[in-house]
Amino acid sequence: MGQRIEGVANIVAVASGKGGVGKTTVTVNLALALAQRGARVGIFDADVYGPNVPLMLGVHRQESTRALVPIARASREPYIPPLERYGIKVMSFGLLVGEKDVVLAEQPLVASLVKQTVRDVMWGETDYLLIDLPPGSGEPQQTLVRDVQIDGVVVVTTPQDLSLLDAGRSLGLYRKAGLNVLGVVENMSYLNCPHCGEHVEVFHRSERDWVIEDEQLELLGRVPMDVGISRGIDAGHPLVTASPGSTQAETFRRIARRVEAKLREGT
């Protein structure tokens, strides 16, 4: 069993089998939806090689954090102040290194760096800490799963990716560790025509429904392909705060309610 982070009630990992499925988009909008429901929320971007949470939230590196890249320390007290945006505490390697810097560290070192950094951030009293993981089941996922107490896992897929979610792959890591897989968010699930509003099922469904049933996964929600979602996220002003009245924002709030409920059931 991994260790708890002091003051943090629930740690939720956001995972995916493949890259580019919208994990960070879902993490950021889910965090904002939870915050709109009154929760105290943090996001930790565990993608060392390609951190993009700061970009999507429009936060920039504080000059002073540069010297705070983890080194051997005598004290175990958290010391890295997170940045705050839209009421959410944010920490990312993108805030610790320069925007154009490239992290060259090898995987085992990256894993311990990530594990240490998540503990070194001054999260304070937090209801939900969302960890945006890199895709796949390598590092730092394996180390985090082993050494940090993760209360739930949200898996993000696209319709095409869902059939790849067999237990031997990305899900296997979390299941073997005995983690509570809260369910799946199917992103870019369908299309709403921006002109006529027609709901278009772009991808064939039957096999995907079967996968969800067979793996006993809850479908937490289906997020459409939507220009508002991509424009918002790419401009650092995510949809849930930019257009809180939209149906897509409501979709994220529904996912947030399910995540909260399932975490309560799991405890």
Q: What residue ranges bind ligand ATP (CB under 6 A)? A: 16, 19-25, 47, 50, 52, 135, 187-188, 223, 225-226, 229-230, 233-234
Taking the complex as a whole, the smallest distance from the CB of residue 25 to Mg ion amounts, in Å, to 8
CA distance 41 to 214: 32
- Binding-site partner at residue 226 among Mg ion, ligand ATP, none, CB < 5 to 8 Å by type: ligand ATP
Which listed range, 19-27, 67-75, 166-174, 224-232, lies at the site for Mg ion (CB under 5 A)?
19-27
Half-sphere exposure of 137 (CA within 13 A, CB side): 16
Q: Is 157 near Mg ion (CB under 5 A)?
A: no
Q: Which is nearer to ligand ATP, 40 or 170 (CB)?
A: 170
- Binding-site partner at residue 92 among Mg ion, ligand ATP, none, CB < 5 to 8 Å by type: none
- Binding-site partner at residue 177 among Mg ion, ligand ATP, none, CB < 5 to 8 Å by type: none
Which listed range, 15-23, 71-79, 109-117, 227-235, lies at the site for Mg ion (CB under 5 A)?
15-23
CA distance 162 to 177: 21
Q: Which is nearer to Mg ion, 23 or 119 (CB)?
A: 23
Taking the complex as a whole, the smallest distance from the CB of residue 43 to Mg ion amounts, in Å, to 11
- Which parts of 22-81 interact with Mg ion (CB under 5 A)? 23-24
Binding site for Mg ion (CB under 5 A): 23-24
